[in-house]
Amino acid sequence: MEDVILRTEGLTKAFRGFVAVREVSLAVRRGTIHAMIGPNGAGKTTCFNLLTKFLEPTGGRILYNGRDITRSSPADIARQGMVRSFQISAVFGHMTALENVRIALQRKRGDCFDFWRSERVLKRYDGQARELLDAVGILEFESVPAVELSYGRKRALELATTLALEPEMMLLDEPMAGMGHEDVGRIAELVKRMAKGRTVLMVEHNLSVVADLSDRITVLARGEILAEGDYEAVSRNPRVIEAYMGSGHA
Ligand X SMILES: Nc1ncnc2c1ncn2[C@@H]1O[C@H](COP(=O)(O)OP(=O)(O)OP(=O)(O)O)[C@@H](O)[C@H]1O
- CB closer to ligand X out of 137 and 175: 175
Amino acid in the structure at residue 62:
I
Show contacts with ligand X in window 53-72 (CB under 6 A): none
Establish if 162 lies at the interface with ligand X (CB under 6 A): no
Nearest Cα to Cα of residue 38 among 232, 230, 227: 227
Segment lying near ligand X (by CB under 6 A), choices 39-47, 67-75, 132-140, 210-218: 39-47
* Residue 20 vs 101, nearer CB to ligand X: 20
Q: Which positions from 195 through 234 interact with ligand X, judged by CB under 6 A?
A: none
Interface with ligand X, residue 38, by CB under 6 A: yes
Least Å from the CB of residue 30 to ligand X: 25
C-beta contacts of 184-189 below 8 A and 24+ residues apart: 184/209, 186/137, 186/152, 186/156, 187/152, 187/155, 187/156, 187/159, 188/212, 188/213
Task: Give the nearest distance from C-beta 43 to ligand X in angstroms.
Answer: 4
Pick the closer one to ligand X by CB: 15 or 151: 15
144-147, Cβ contacts within 8 angstroms, sequence gap of 24 or more: 144/96, 144/97, 145/93, 145/94, 145/95, 145/96, 146/91, 146/92, 146/93, 146/94, 146/95, 146/96, 146/97, 146/100, 147/93, 147/94
Least gap, CB of 122 to ligand X (angstroms)? 39
Residue 172: name the closest of 34, 57, 54 by CA: 34
161 binds ligand X (CB under 6 A): no
Distance CA 51, CA 70 (A): 8
Does residue number 45 form part of the binding site for ligand X (CB under 6 A)? yes
Taking CB under 6 A as the criterion, the residue among 8, 34, 46, 57 binding ligand X is 46
Give Cα separations from 111 to 115, 239, 250 (angstroms): 11, 50, 48
177 and 152 in contact (C-beta within 8 Å)? no
Q: Any contact of residue 20 with ligand X (CB under 6 A)?
A: yes
22 binds ligand X (CB under 6 A): no
Is residue 40 involved in binding ligand X (CB under 6 A)? yes
Q: Is 151 in the site for ligand X (CB under 6 A)?
A: no
- Total binding residues toward ligand X, as defined by CB under 6 A: 11
Asked if residue 169 binds ligand X (CB under 6 A), the reply is no
Please report, as ranges, the residues that interact with ligand X according to CB under 6 A.
Answer: 15, 18, 20, 38, 40-46
